[in-house]
Amino acid sequence: MQLNKMVSQVLYCLVVFAALLLNDVTGKLREGDCEVCVKFLTKFDATLSDEVRGNQEKLTNALKKTCGKAKNKEQKFCFYVGGVAESATYILKEITKPLGFFKPPSAICEALKKKDTQICDLAYEKPLDWKNINLKKMRVKELKKILSDWEEGCKGCVEKSDFIKKIESVKSKYVEHTEL
């Protein structure tokens, strides 16, 4: 008798947990959800002419071209939706068709979230606080990432101090003066 009660309680908990998971997958976007998807598609949408928007083939080609130039998280978004050659999936029509009918990017991303939740898990890295940053306390890997994000090489850099000197020498090109 007590075993049946425990089994029913466990089953009840599993049903509630499953309902919560399904609600998260199918629910409306919350503030900050699908950050990369919404921002990328909003920028892309702003570049579209009526001629391109009205032709699915041109729209798809324009999206692929934009994805070809994407970097970091936006490139990963393009990978997830099939916008780059090495993508395993291809759901570009889930983007281009609604864009052709002026559907807002947030609504498109909401629909994409239902198909593949990892699309909405992408988020931009927070920008570095250059007023309070101490490069000497950072790891070499982090210093290399800063240079990589800026598309700067560091030939001959071996020591941590070499990377710091390189960052300091090119920082003015990439960091706004108001941030310094």
| pLDDT score recorded for residue 3 | 59
| Residue 7 domain-assigned (yes or no) | no
Beta-sheet strands, E only, within the chain: none
> CB-based contacts of 2: which residues, under 8 Å, 6+ apart?
none
To the nearest 10°, report the CA torsion of 26, 117, 75, 141. 140
| Residue 10 domain-assigned (yes or no) | no
Confidence check: pLDDT of 113 > 80 = yes
116 and 155 inside one domain: no
70 and 103 inside one domain: yes
| pLDDT score recorded for residue 162 | 94
117 and 40 inside one domain: yes
Number of domains in the chain: 2
| Helix, strand or coil, per DSSP, at residue 82 | coil
Domain CATH for 80:
1.10.225.10
d(CA 103, CA 81): 17
Q: Are 106 and 45 in contact (CB under 8 A)?
A: no
Amino acid, single-letter form, for residue 127: P
Q: Which of 104-108, 115-119, 130-134 has the highest mean pLDDT?
A: 104-108
Q: Label residue 110 by pLDDT band (50, 70, 90).
A: very high
Tally of CB atoms within 10 A around 180: 9
Q: Label residue 126 by pLDDT band (50, 70, 90).
A: confident
Confidence check: pLDDT of 10 > 70 = no
d(CA 27, CA 15): 18
Quick one: average pLDDT of 97-110? 94
Size of the chain in residues: 180
Q: Label residue 12 by pLDDT band (50, 70, 90).
A: low
> Six-digit token pair at 112?
């994409």
Q: What is the DSSP string of 23-69?
A: HHHHSPPPTTTTHHHHHHHHHHHHT--HHHHT-HHHHHHHHHHHHHH
103 and 141 inside one domain: no
What is the pTM for the complete model shown? 0.65
| pLDDT score recorded for residue 131 | 86
82 and 115 inside one domain: yes
d(CA 178, CA 169): 18
As a whole number, the mean pLDDT across the chain is 84
82 and 148 inside one domain: no
| Residue 142 domain-assigned (yes or no) | yes
| Residue 92 domain-assigned (yes or no) | yes
116 and 152 inside one domain: no
104 and 40 inside one domain: yes
* Range with the poorest average pLDDT among 67-71, 124-128, 148-152: 124-128
| Residue 162 domain-assigned (yes or no) | yes
Measured in degrees and rounded to the nearest 5, phi and psi for residue 92 equal -60, -35
Instruction: Return the H-helix or E-strand segment holding 126.
Output: none
43 and 86 inside one domain: yes
Q: Label residue 60 by pLDDT band (50, 70, 90).
A: very high
**Alpha-carbon distance values, 55 to 47, 61, 84, 93, 104 (Å):** 15, 10, 20, 12, 18
| Residue 22 domain-assigned (yes or no) | no
Q: Label residue 112 by pLDDT band (50, 70, 90).
A: very high
46 and 94 inside one domain: yes
Domain that holds residue 157: 135-174
Quick one: average pLDDT of 23-28? 48
168 and 111 inside one domain: no
**Chain segment 131-162, per-residue pLDDT in tens:** 889 999 999 999 998 998 888 989 999 999 99
116 and 43 inside one domain: yes
Q: Label residue 88 by pLDDT band (50, 70, 90).
A: confident
| Residue 144 domain-assigned (yes or no) | yes
